[in-house]
Each structure stands twice: as structure tokens, then as C-alpha cells.
Amino acid sequence: MDAQTVGALVAVGLAAGILSGFVGVGGGIIMVPALVLLLGYGQHQAQGTSLAVLVLPVVALAVRNYYKAGVIEPKVVAVIAVAFVVGGYFGSRWSLAVPQEIVKRIFGVLMLVISVKLILGK
């Protein structure tokens, strides 16, 4: 891995970390598009890399800040986490069974729809 690639990966990680801590996004919104568009990863490889980053306790300090502020409900987190594990398993199986170009288009449409919804409101 050359210095330019390491620099790009550090920039992607910092951007994802800052935005994750600030507005709760990072993996799907920042890392996946950056890995595909800037570093030439395939859609499946970018998604897998983004998910692999989440395996490590990368957001532990950000969670600590929100927990100390009293805005995290551990029971809610537990229920969502269990469902996330199950959903992540099946979602990854389904994604890998579909050609990357189709997954990339689905991903793009999803981001567009969510963006429009957030910008325009209800």
C-alpha cells in the first residue's frame, strides 16, 4: 500500500468518524462511496470493508459521549443490535448474490430518496 493510498484511507476514515459522531452517518454514506469513487473498489468490496470497520470498537468514544449525555437507551440499542446482526447476515448474503452494478444502483437510489426526504421533510 503506497503513501497516497494510506493518506486517502485516513481521510476517508476521519471524514466517516467525524460525520458519524456529528450526525450519525459514516459507513454507508461516506466510506462506501469514497471507496468506490476515489479508490476504485467494487461495490461489494466497499460494502464489506465498511462493515469490517464496524466490527472494531471504532465508535466507542463517540458512543461514550452520547451515553454520558443521557441520550442513549441501552435496551433500545440491544434490540436494534440483535436485529442488525440478523439483518446484516441476510442482507450481505442477498447482496453478494446480485451483480455489483445492480447493488450500486440500488445503493444510489436509496441515498437519493433518503436525501430528498431529509431535505424536503414530510
Give the per-residue pLDDT at 37: 93
Q: Are 59 and 85 in contact (CB under 8 A)?
A: no
Give residue 73's pLDDT.
94
Residue range(s) defining the domain that contains residue 46: 3-120
**pLDDT per residue as tens, the chain (122 positions):** 899 999 999 999 998 888 888 877 777 888 999 999 999 999 999 999 988 888 778 889 989 999 999 999 999 999 988 998 999 999 999 999 999 999 999 999 999 998 998 899 87
Output the nine-digit C-alpha cell for 63.
458512543
The count of domains in the chain is: 1
